Amino acid sequence: MALMSQDDLTDLAAKGNVQLMAHELAHQWWGVTLGIRSWSDFWLNEGFAEFMSDAYIEKHQGRAAYDMQIADLWARMKKLREEGKDRPLHWEKWKDTHEALGPIPYVKEALFLARLRMELGDEIFWRGSVCTRPATRAGWWTPEISSGRWKKRAPAI
């Protein structure tokens, strides 16, 4: 959380919201160390941070707590769809954060990652994810980089 202001850190600590702290800490990797090439990929920063905060909850509070987090995300996604607010995660014409923001990058990408984890299984998912690769260097990344890594590291079926 080195890149957060002292006021933000104080406010975050005062709230005692462990999940929000985990989300912001995750941005030290997804968003700071690994940046995005354009605002079209903004969902990668927020979706990974959202998902990792849920994974942190699972690690420290158990699978049932994680499952509740994912169920909450599904309920939020359902409401967004009912309100007509669903949209693609990636769109080439976004030019800044204002256009790319909103709840969809957080909710939809976290649900995508939860589903990917379920489909691949924990071993392949965590072995193939960017977070467990010490050889991964700082720089830019795109969805193609991630999907290629999972593809390369997944055993043949």
Instruction: Decide if 119 is catalytic.
Output: no
* CB-neighbour burial class of residue 90 (10 A; exposed 0-12, middle 13-18, buried 19+): middle
Q: Is 95 helix (H, G, I), strand (E, B) or coil?
A: coil
- Judge whether 40 and 90 are in contact, CB under 8 Å: yes
Return d(Cα 157, Cα 142) in angstroms, integer: 26
Tokens of 3: 């890149």
- The catalytic position among 24, 46, 50, 109 is 24
Return d(Cα 77, Cα 115) in angstroms, integer: 14
For the beta carbon of residue 115, count every other beta carbon within 10 angstroms: 11
Backbone angles phi, psi at 108, to 5 degrees: -65, -45
- Judge whether 100 and 94 are in contact, CB under 8 Å: yes
Positions annotated as catalytic residues are: 24
